[in-house]
Amino acid sequence: MIVRIMGEGQTEIDPSDLDVLNALDGELEAAIEAGDEEAFRACLHDLLDKVRHVGRALPDDSLESSELILPPADASMEEVREMLGDEGLIPG
C-alpha cells in the first residue's frame, strides 16, 4: 500500500502493518471526537512516526499513485477532522 504524508514523500506500507496503524488511527479519531488537543497532537505524531518507521520510503521521482493520504504533523484538529472518512484516515 502506498501512503503519502502531506509535505513529505511516499512510503510503501506492508499490509501486515495495517492493524497497528488502524489502532493508532482509532486513538486519533477518539481524541478528535473528545476535542482533546493534547491527545490529538500525540496521536497524530504517533501515527505518522509509525508510518515512517514501518514504511519503506519511495524515491522522490516515484510516479506511483498514493492509496492513502495522511495529514502533515502540524495539521490542525479541524483539518484532520475534514480528512476523516467513514473508516478514519486508514480504512481497515
Buried b / exposed e across 42-51, counting CB within 10 Å, b at 16+? Answer: ebbeebbebb
Mean pLDDT by 10 residues, the chain (92 residues): 93 94 95 96 97 94 89 96 83 70
pTM of the predicted structure, to 2 decimals: 0.91
pLDDT of residue 86: 75
Q: List the strands of the sheet with 10-12, edge to edge.
A: 56-57, 10-12, 2-5, 68-70
pLDDT of residue 92: 65
